[in-house]
Structure 1
Amino acid sequence: MDTDLMREAKEHIKWMMKKYPNKRPKQMPHDLVAIDPFWVRFISDDRLLDIVKQFIGPNTLLFASHYISKSPYNGQPVLWHQDGSSAAGNQ
């Protein structure tokens, strides 16, 4: 992962938490992601897309996302997983 991009993402999360103090930081809701220009730029970054392509190939589509922002060693663990998988998606 690109160090500068990850630092920018970390600062953006801090900014979001200050701007929306009543939102739970562990799961910033979908409604914020949909209107967040940084998030759209972040998930569209060629450096991240190159990493994604290594795992799932070049044909990708983002249909849902949210922030999971938690301090290390604190809170509920989030293991590797795939949301929204189905037999139809494997055809």
Structure 2
Amino acid sequence: MHSDLSPHLHTPECNKLINLLKQCHAERKFARFVGVCNTFDQNVVDCLRNERIERSRENRDKARKEQQRVRERMRQLEKDQEARH
């Protein structure tokens, strides 16, 4: 089972592979059950995995930057508070 295969959720490369898999399934309605489309399916799985890994990396980077921004803001607030006392 794949995640949602809607085109707007994936890169053009993955969309191309998804379309090839769908085409294989459409052209080989019964043969697909014996593994005829497995190569296409594995290519889609690999592409989706790579997308997920890249999204995770981007989210981690974004979270690190946000955490750094918060730390700097907290330091500044602490400095301001010490200066007032």
Q: TM-score of the superposition, structure 2-length normalised? A: 0.31
